[in-house]
Amino acid sequence: MTQIRAGITAVHGYVPEGVMSNHDLEKLVETNDEWIVSRTGIKERRILEGEGKGCSVMVIEAVRGLIEKSGIAPNDIDLLIVATVTGDRVFPDTANIARHHLGITSGFGFDINAACSGFLYALSVGAQFVETGKYQNVVVVGADKMSSILDYQDRTTCILFGDGAGAVLLQPKTDGTGLMDFELLSDGKGEEFLYQKAGGSCYPATVETVQAREHFVRQDGRTVFKAAVNGMVSSVETVMGRNQLTQEDITWLVPHQANQRIISTVANMAKVPMDKVMMVIEKYGNTTAGTLPLCLWEYESQLKSGDKIIFTAFGGGYTWGASYLIWS
Ligand code: UT7
């Protein structure tokens, strides 16, 4: 029997109109454009503005574009998975809020919380439903409104992140394209190095948690930097080795966009030349679960059927991994 694989057959993205440049940040914290560009590669990031506008606003725009591009009807979507750490509410999940506004009345949806590796995890989860033959149309979204959990008094974190969403359509493929392999890993020891202290069941919101600024992202940047490089390189090597892929075989490396120095170190250690590496960090910063699909969206015109793509990500948890996909 021919093996069914989950192919990406459409991609779309959405970034909000509001642009926050490094010069804008200079007015908020003790920083400067030169430091941010040289240490991270980021020049600007997008910010979703407007009271009451949550992550679902971006999910809806990205999925709506995907529906238009692919020609499927909303109710053709069997499953919508949203990877995010900045869902509209603690519950219900953002996937179902988005499904309602998109007019999807059949099937189901759920969120995945794996921070910057969220899209990587969600892609593999969504693919399982396609590979079994159960579903024909699975939409996987990576989206985060990071500006909602950033402390614009903390220069070590607020300069890094931005808002954005990317969506892909997974459909069954029997032509040798699709998701070929993945290596997903996690290690809870990362909790203390990248986290949001309050807002969950340990420390629900109180006047004190708000006053102590505990509802914002905190990160030990240097520790996470090293862990990110090691985690991404080892998982890329595992996936490449298992699939007998050489550097020449790879058409694109799609790495999580946290820091240009991390990206170039990973590419260098995996011996992938930089002209094969997708990069959107300069204009979007780190959009957490949004980075990988936003890369695909930006490079869409350069993608050809048969391209061999390696995705890799690392994020809070720790969560990390790599996957290998042949473009449909
Ligand atoms: O996506 C999830 C995973 N996250 C990541 O992968 C992020 C990993 N970490 C990083 O990307 C980097 O560690 C950062 C970009 C966060 C920081 O870069 P760094 O080269 O590791 O800087 P550092 O933390 O070692 O700080 C160097 C200096 C410090 O000053 P002193 O102690 O040397 O006087 C910082 O206080 O730079 C200072 N600094 C800044 N200066 C100007 C930190 N942030 C800023 C800033 N502007 N925004």
What CATH number should be reported for the domain holding residue 158? 3.40.47.10
Picking from 134, 156, 175, the residue at the C-terminal end of a domain is 175
Picking from 149, 175, 201, the residue at the C-terminal end of a domain is 175
Q: Is 299 in the pocket of ligand 1 (CB under 6 A)?
A: no
Which ligand 1 atom sits nearest the alpha carbon of residue 25? 48
Classify strands 308-315 and 319-326 as parallel, antiparallel or unpaired. antiparallel
Query: What's the pLDDT score for residue 172?
Result: 98
Q: Judge contact between 235 and 183, C-beta under 8 A.
A: yes
**C-alpha 194, offset from chain centre:** 16
Is a pLDDT exceeding 80 seen at residue 140? yes
Same domain, 184 and 162: no
pLDDT in tens, 190-231: 999 999 999 999 999 999 999 999 999 999 999 999 999 999
Calculate how far, in angstroms, residue 156's C-alpha sits from the geometric centre of ligand 1. 6
- pLDDT tier for residue 158 given thresholds of 50, 70 and 90: very high
Same domain, 139 and 157: yes
Cβ count near 250 (within 10 Å): 21
Is a pLDDT exceeding 80 seen at residue 1? no
Question: Which protein residue's CA is at the shortest distance from atom 19 of ligand 1?
Answer: 222
Q: Is 286 a catalytic residue?
A: yes
Q: Judge contact between 11 and 297, C-beta under 8 A.
A: yes
Q: How much is the average pLDDT of 58-73?
A: 98
- pLDDT tier for residue 84 given thresholds of 50, 70 and 90: very high
Measuring CA to CA, how many Å separate 62 from each of 45, 80, 258?
A: 18, 12, 21
Same domain, 272 and 229: yes
Q: Point out the catalytic residue in the list 12, 256, 259, 295.
A: 256
Tell me the best of 158, 225, 226, 287 to mutate to test the pocket of ligand 1, counting ligand atoms within 8 Å of each CB and taking the most: 225
Measuring CA to CA, how many Å separate 232 from each of 250, 262, 293, 311?
A: 16, 9, 17, 9
Calculate how far, in angstroms, residue 274's C-alpha sits from the geometric centre of ligand 1. 23
Query: What's the pLDDT score for residue 181?
Result: 98
Cα–Cα distance between 113 and 319 in angstroms, integer?
A: 10
52-74: burial string, b at 16+ Cβ within 10 Å, e else:
eebbbbbbbbbbbbbbeebebeb
Q: Which domain holds residue 285?
A: 180-326
Helix (H) or strand (E) holding 314: strand 308-315
Query: What's the pLDDT score for residue 215?
Result: 98
Same domain, 142 and 194: no
- pLDDT tier for residue 156 given thresholds of 50, 70 and 90: very high
Calculate how far, in angstroms, residue 293's C-alpha sits from the geometric centre of ligand 1. 26
DSSP classification of residue 196 = E
Q: How much is the average pLDDT of 237-245?
A: 98
Q: Is 268 a catalytic residue?
A: no
Q: Is 256 a catalytic residue?
A: yes
Is a pLDDT exceeding 80 seen at residue 97? yes
Calculate how far, in angstroms, residue 160's C-alpha sits from the geometric centre of ligand 1. 9
Same domain, 305 and 291: yes
Same domain, 104 and 239: no
Query: What's the pLDDT score for residue 326?
Result: 98
DSSP classification of residue 286 = B
pLDDT-above-90 percentage for the chain: 99
Q: How much is the average pLDDT of 228-243?
A: 98
Picking from 158, 175, 192, the residue at the C-terminal end of a domain is 175
Give the chain's domain count. 2
Is a pLDDT exceeding 90 seen at residue 2? no
Same domain, 261 and 243: yes
Is a pLDDT exceeding 80 seen at residue 15? yes
Mean pLDDT of the chain: 98
At residue 226, the 3 state secondary structure works out as helix
Nearest-5° angle of CA 2, CA 7, CA 11?
165
Helix (H) or strand (E) holding 324: strand 319-326
Query: What's the pLDDT score for residue 47?
Result: 98
Query: What's the pLDDT score for residue 186?
Result: 98
Same domain, 171 and 187: no
Calculate how far, in angstroms, residue 221's C-alpha sits from the geometric centre of ligand 1. 6
Which ligand 1 atom sits nearest the alpha carbon of residue 155? 48
Q: Is 221 in the pocket of ligand 1 (CB under 6 A)?
A: yes
Same domain, 236 and 283: yes
Classify strands 79-83 and 18-21 as parallel, antiparallel or unpaired. unpaired
For residue 262 the two structure tokens come to: 């991390």
Same domain, 156 and 269: no
pLDDT in tens, 178-192: 999 999 999 999 999
Q: How much is the average pLDDT of 116-144?
A: 98
Give me the residues paired with residue 182 across strands.
Answer: 323
Question: Which protein residue's CA is at the shortest distance from atom 30 of ligand 1?
Answer: 156
Q: How much is the average pLDDT of 97-116?
A: 98
Look-up: residue for tokens 């007019």? 103
Same domain, 28 and 162: yes
